[in-house]
């Protein structure tokens, strides 16, 4: 039984189609002379390869973000993309963040997000407030109970070395939110939209020791079902399949032009 209503599925399908059409209209292949590749594979296939590479690079902002926002709008009080968590944090919060990072980096401590949030809450307005310009929040959700979720949507295979910076960003987002509202129930998360290792479980060991896997990470169905309810991930894959079928004539016509050049 479908989790998403027909109206929701239509809305999601239209969002996907609109995003892809916008990509077609604004995509400009980088000029490159590849005479052997062109003769072997054809310019249309090379153009398709280039397009897929470009799309994969910014799939998060061009496809996943608007789809996630559309899904969450039905189940949360509010959903917004590309938001600022805040503009300042306290010097004491900076100190706490650095202590947390030092402990995790040396394996002297294990990640414990509830405890880390509590430590930041205690000092979120202590001492001088300093300006901070952390990365924008990909998806900001406010649940009906007031809980604030700040989500960073990452590629399916993030670089293992990047998780140290991801962790710092999550802590800074929390500190900036608490600086404005010390009583806020704020949750900061990394979301990975699909599991490239399917049917094997997602390889989480690269994040262990830096992220609290129970409180800071949602992968594939975990993420999409969190936004739209149990079963959303399966429904969403079907929406993508239907959008692809509807767009196929446009996709074929778009890339056929390259063989005419």
Q: Which fold, 77-228? A: type ii restriction endonuclease, domain 2 (3.40.1560)
pLDDT of residue 158: 73
Distances in whole angstroms, Cα of residue 51 to Cα of each of 14, 24, 69, 246, 251: 20, 9, 24, 18, 11
- Largest distance between two CA atoms of the chain: 66
pLDDT at 129: 94
**How far, in Å, CA of 62 to CA of 18, rounded?**
10
Query: Can you point out the beta strands (E) in the chain?
Result: 78-83, 88-90, 129-131, 137-142, 148-153, 186-192, 217-219
Residue found by looking up tokens 């975990």 in the block: 222
Q: What is the pLDDT of residue 168?
A: 94
Domain ranges of the chain: 1-75+229-261, 77-228
261 residues of the chain, pLDDT tens digit each = 457 888 889 988 998 898 888 888 877 766 666 777 777 777 777 777 777 777 777 777 878 998 999 899 889 999 999 999 999 999 999 999 999 999 999 989 999 999 999 999 999 999 899 998 888 999 999 999 999 999 999 877 777 668 889 999 999 999 999 999 999 999 999 999 998 888 888 877 667 789 999 999 999 999 999 999 999 999 999 999 999 999 999 888 877 777 655
- DSSP states of 224-248 as a string? HHHHH-TTHHHHHHHHHHHHHHHHH
What pLDDT digit, counting tens, does each position of 137-174 carry? 999 999 999 999 999 998 777 776 688 899 999 999 99
Please give the pLDDT value at position 74.
85
Nearest to 100 by CA among 90, 85, 91, 110: 110
Decide: helix, strand or coil at residue 147. Answer: coil
Query: Which helix (H) or strand (E) element contains residue 222?
Result: helix 221-228
Distance, in Å, from the CA atom of 151 to the CA atom of 153, rounded to the nearest integer, reads: 6
């Amino acid at each position: 039984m479908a989790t998403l209503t027909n109206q929701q599925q239509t809305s999601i399908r239209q969002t996907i189609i609109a995003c892809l059409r916008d990509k077609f209209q604004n995509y400009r292949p980088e000029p490159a002379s590849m005479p052997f590749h062109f003769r072997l594979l054809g310019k249309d296939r090379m153009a398709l390869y280039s397009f897929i590479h470009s799309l994969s690079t910014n799939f998060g902002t061009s496809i996943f973000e608007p789809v996630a926002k559309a899904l969450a709008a039905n189940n949360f009080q509010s959903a917004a993309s590309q938001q600022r968590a805040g503009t300042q944090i306290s010097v004491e919060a900076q100190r706490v963040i650095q202590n947390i990072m030092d402990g995790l980096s040396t394996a002297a401590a294990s990640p414990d997000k509830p405890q880390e949030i509590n430590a930041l809450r205690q000092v979120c307005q202590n001492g001088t407030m300093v300006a901070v310009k952390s990365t924008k929040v990909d998806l900001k959700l406010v649940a009906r109970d007031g809980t604030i979720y700040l989500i960073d949507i990452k590629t399916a295979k993030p670089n293992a070395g990047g998780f140290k910076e991801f962790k710092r960003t999550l802590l800074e987002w929390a500190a900036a939110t608490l600086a404005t509202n010390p009583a806020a129930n704020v949750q900061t998360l990394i979301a990975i939209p699909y599991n490239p290792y399917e049917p094997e479980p997602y390889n989480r060991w690269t994040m262990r020791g830096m992220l609290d896997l129970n409180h800071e990470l949602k992968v594939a169905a975990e993420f999409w079902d969190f936004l739209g309810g149990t079963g959303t991930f399966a429904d969403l894959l079907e929406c993508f399949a239907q959008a692809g079928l509807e767009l196929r004539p446009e996709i074929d016509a778009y890339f056929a032009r390259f063989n005419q050049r």
